[in-house]
Structure 1
Amino acid sequence: MSKKIEEYIKDNKKAFDIGIPSKDLWNKIEAALDERRPEKKKKHLGLLFCLGVAASLILVMTFIFMSTYRNYKKEVEIADVNLGYAKKEMKFASLIEEKKDSLQIYAKDNPDLYNKFSNDLLELNKDYIKLKKELQHSPDQKLVVRAMVRNLEIQLQIINQQLSVISQVNEYKKENQI
C-alpha cells in the first residue's frame, strides 16, 4: 500500500507543488474553530472561581472561629499573670489545707469554737472564689492576683491564730482538771 502512495505522489508531484492553499483558507478554519468552541467553558470557569472563593472564606472563618473559641474557653491562672505569686499561692494553699486538718483534730474537743472558726474561713474562701472569677475579666490582673494571694495569706494567719487559741484553751482545760 505504501508503494501505491509513493507512486501516486511521484506521478502527481507537480499538482502538489502548484496547488497552494489560499490565505483565506486558514482564516476560514480559525473562524470555524471559534464557532465550535463552547462559551460554557468561560461560565464554568467563573462558577469554579466563585466556588473556590466561597470555600476559602469558609475555611478562613472556621479558622478564626476555632482560634477565638479556644482562647475564650481558656481560664486565666495566677501563673499566667505572675509566676512568683503562683508559687506563693501554692505554698499558702498547701499550708492552709495542712492547718485545716489540724483544726479538725481539735474540733472534737471544742465543736462550738471550731464552727465559729470555720465560718470565718468560709467567708474568706468565698471572697477568694470571687477574686478568681474576677481575674478572668479584670483589666488589671496583677492587682487581682495580689488580692488573691493576700486573701490566702490572711486565711493562713487566721488558722494559725485559731490553732493558737485552741491550744491555749486545751492547756487551760488541762490545768483546771488537775
Structure 2
Amino acid sequence: MSKKIEEYVKENKKAFDIGVPSEDLWCKIEVGLNERESGKKKKRLGLPFWLGAAASLLAGMTFVFMYTYFNRKKEVEIADVNPGYAKKEMKFASLIEEKKDSLQIYAKDNPDLYNKFSNDLLELNKDYINLKMELQHSPDQKLVVQAMVRNLEIQLQIINQQLSVISQVNAYKKENQI
C-alpha cells in the first residue's frame, strides 16, 4: 500500500506544489508560538510557587513536631536536682519498706494500734506525693527536695517509734501473763 501512495505522490507532485503559503503565515505562527510560550511560563511559575509554599509549610510543621517531641520535659527526679539527696531517698525508702513489713508482722497481735499507725504513715505519704508533684513546677527545686527527704526521715522515725511502742506493748503483755 505504501508503494501506491508513493506513486500517487510522484505523479501528482506538481499539484501539491501549486499552493504556496503567504509570507505573513510564518509571522502569524511565530507570534502564536511566542504567546503560547509566555502562557506556559506563567503556568509553570504558578505551580512551583504553590508547591514550594506547601513544601515549606510541611517542612516547618515537621521541624516543630520533631522539636516538641524530642524536647518535651521529662519528669524531674530528685537525682536531677541533687544526687546526694537521691541516695538518701533510696536509703530511707528501702528502710521504710523494711520497717513496714516488720509492722505488718506485729499487726496480727495489735490490729487497732496498727491501723492508727498506718493512718499516720498514709498522711505523711500523701504529703510526700504532693511534694513530688510540686517538684515538677517549683522554682526552688532544692527546697522541695529537702522537704521530700525530710518527709521520708520523719516517716522512718515514726515507724521506728511505732515499732518501739509495739515492742513495749508486747513486752508488757508477756510480763502480765506470768
Instruction: Report the equivalent of 1:47.
Output: 47
Tell me how far 1:149 sits from its aligned partner. 1.2
Instruction: Report the equivalent of 1:146.
Output: 146
Letter of the 1:90 partner, please give it. Answer: M
Tell me how far 1:167 sits from its aligned partner. 0.8
Structure 1 residues without counterparts, runs of 5 or longer: 1-27
Instruction: Report the equivalent of 1:136.
Output: 136
Alpha-carbon distance between aligned partners in 2 of 1:116 and 1:176, rounded to the nearest angstrom: 24
Please give the per-residue CA displacement for 1:112-161, whole angstroms capped at 9, x wherever unaligned.
11111000000000011111111111122121111111111111111011
Alpha-carbon distance between aligned partners in 2 of 1:58 and 1:71, rounded to the nearest angstrom: 20
Alpha-carbon distance between aligned partners in 1 of 2:94 and 2:161, rounded to the nearest angstrom: 17
Alpha-carbon distance between aligned partners in 2 of 1:119 and 1:126, rounded to the nearest angstrom: 11
Instruction: Report the equivalent of 2:82.
Output: 82
For the residue of structure 2 that corresponds to 1:86, the secondary structure is helix
What TM-score comes out, normalization by structure 2 length? 0.73
Alpha-carbon distance between aligned partners in 2 of 1:71 and 1:167, rounded to the nearest angstrom: 53
Identity %: 85
For the residue of structure 2 that corresponds to 1:37, the secondary structure is helix
Alpha-carbon distance between aligned partners in 2 of 1:90 and 1:61, rounded to the nearest angstrom: 42
Residues 90 and 50 (structure 1 numbering): CA distance in 2 closer, same or farther, change over 3 Å?
same
Alpha-carbon distance between aligned partners in 2 of 1:70 and 1:174, rounded to the nearest angstrom: 63
Report the aligned-residue RMSD: 2.2
Tell me how far 1:88 sits from its aligned partner. 1.3
Alpha-carbon distance between aligned partners in 2 of 1:38 and 1:57, rounded to the nearest angstrom: 29
Instruction: Report the equivalent of 2:175.
Output: 175
Alpha-carbon distance between aligned partners in 2 of 1:140 and 1:58, rounded to the nearest angstrom: 40
Alpha-carbon distance between aligned partners in 2 of 1:82 and 1:59, rounded to the nearest angstrom: 40
For the residue of structure 1 that corresponds to 2:139, the secondary structure is coil
Tell me how far 1:52 sits from its aligned partner. 2.2
Alpha-carbon distance between aligned partners in 2 of 1:74 and 1:60, rounded to the nearest angstrom: 24
Tell me how far 1:55 sits from its aligned partner. 2.0
